Homo-oligomer: A and B are copies of this chain.
Amino acid sequence: MSENIHLERDGRIATITLDKPKRHNAMDASMWQGIGDLMQECDGDAELRCVIIRGAGGKAFSAGADIAEFENERRDKAHALDYGVIVENGVGWIARCRHPVIAQIDGLCVGGGLGVASACDLRVCGESSRFGVPVKRLGLVEAHNEVAPLVHKFGANIALEILLVGDVFPVADAVRMGLVNKVVPDGEVAAAVREMAEKIVEGAPLSARWHKKFIHRLLDPAPLTAEELDEGWDCYDTEDYKIGVKAFLAKQTPEFVGR
Contact = CB atoms under 8 A, between A and B. Distances in A.
Nearest to A219: B156
A1 interface: no
Interface stretch (A19-27, A39-47, A52-60, A130-138): A130-138
B156 A156 contact: no
Contacts of A156: 152-153, 215-216, 218-219
A115 to B, nearest CB: 14
Interface in A133-151: 135-148, 151
B157 A178 contact: yes
A207 B212 CA distance: 33
Contact of A215 (B68, B147, B243): B147
Interface in A214-251: 214-219, 221, 224, 228-229, 232-238, 240-245, 248-249
Contact of A161 (B74, B122, B141, B161): B122
Contacts of A210: 141
A71 interface: yes
A229 B234 CA distance: 36
A29 to B, nearest CB: 15
Nearest to A257: B139
Interface residues of A, number: 87
Nearest to A230: B81
B235 A136 contact: no
Contacts of A70: 245
Contacts of A140: 204, 207, 235-236, 241, 244
B157 A100 contact: no
A165 interface: yes
Contacts of A154: 155, 157
Interface string A31-75: 000000000000000000000000000000000000110110011
Interface of A: 67-68, 70-71, 74-77, 79-81, 84, 100, 121-122, 135-148, 151-157, 159-161, 163-167, 175-176, 178, 181, 196, 199-200, 202-204, 206-208, 210-212, 214-219, 221, 224, 228-229, 232-238, 240-245, 248-249, 254, 256
12 contacts: A77-B233, A136-B207, A137-B202, A138-B207, A139-B207, A139-B254, A142-B211, A145-B232, A147-B211, A163-B207, A164-B208, A166-B200
